[in-house]
Amino acid sequence: MSKKILIVDDEPNMRYALVRSFELMGCETYQAINARTALDAYRRLHPDIVLTDFQLGRDNGVLLAREIGTYEKSAGLKSRIFLMSGDDVRWKNVRIDGFYCKPISQEGIREMSGNL
């Protein structure tokens, strides 16, 4: 069974590159452009991995990770959550499974998907 990856980024080119990389590894990919659509997709899809940008326009990936964490507790689910950004200070108190600077290398993508 292929891994389900939810990619959350407001930059279309970044989403495309990540989707393409994960699909080449045989993963099933889904996309969201902001925290609201990502949370809706998470609830519907229950992905194995959520890869979110830190800055999502008016939203941010840390708040999304907190919302997912709250939902996971109530639903008894668990996904791996990875944050992409150059800023690693603000997410220290949030359950994040990994942190990657953008752009993510192929090695980082393989590492991330192998962490399941």
* Whether the model pTM is above 0.85: no
pLDDT at 94: 62
Q: How many domains does the chain have?
A: 1
Calpha distance 64→57 (Å, rounded)? 13
Calpha distance 5→7 (Å, rounded)? 6
pLDDT at 115: 57
CATH number at residue 101: 3.40.50.2300
pLDDT at 90: 57
Residue 108 belongs to domain spanning: 4-113
Torsion over CA: 105, 110, 113, 115 (sign): negative
Q: What is the pLDDT along the chain (116 residues), one digit of tens a residue?
A: 789 999 999 999 999 999 999 999 999 999 999 999 999 999 999 999 999 988 888 888 888 988 998 888 888 888 888 877 755 555 556 666 766 777 778 888 788 777 55
How is residue 83 written in tokens?
């944050």
